[in-house]
Amino acid sequence: MKNPSNFPKTANKKTLNALYRFKFGYRCLSEITNNLPDTCQHCDRDTHAPLAHYLTESRQTAPYINRNLGTAENIIRQMDWTALATLALQFPPPR
């Protein structure tokens, strides 16, 4: 069967879940329940946009991301899936 997502076939379920959440720009639980600001689990800063913060501001994820790409949406669109998978394994995205 062809892999329609273009994600690595060898990725485990946890990694694939994170990649799908990146791809679709999901909202995390604190956004859905309107329980903001949320504290970043990686750098302890409060944020009103957890996924955007994770991709564009968090000090811990900075070495893995080319922030010159601009917005979180552009970063996800331009980053290689393997690099995103590595990032998700090292520093899980907000849930």
Using one digit for the tens of pLDDT, what is the confidence trace for 65-91? Answer: 999 988 988 888 888 888 888 888 889
Residue 58 backbone phi and psi in degrees, to 5: -60, 130
Whether 13 maps to a domain, the answer reads no
Whether 22 maps to a domain, the answer reads no
Number of domains observed in the structure of the chain: 1
Write out the residue range of the structural domain in which residue 84 sits. 32-90
What's the pLDDT band for 14 if we cut at 50, 70, 90? confident
* Residues 70/57, Cβ–Cβ less than 8 Å: no
Using one digit for the tens of pLDDT, what is the confidence trace for 15-58? Answer: 888 887 777 777 888 889 999 999 999 999 999 999 999 999 99
* Residues 81/19, Cβ–Cβ less than 8 Å: yes
Nearest to 58, CA basis, from 93, 16, 25, 24: 93
> What is the value of pTM for the model shown?
0.80
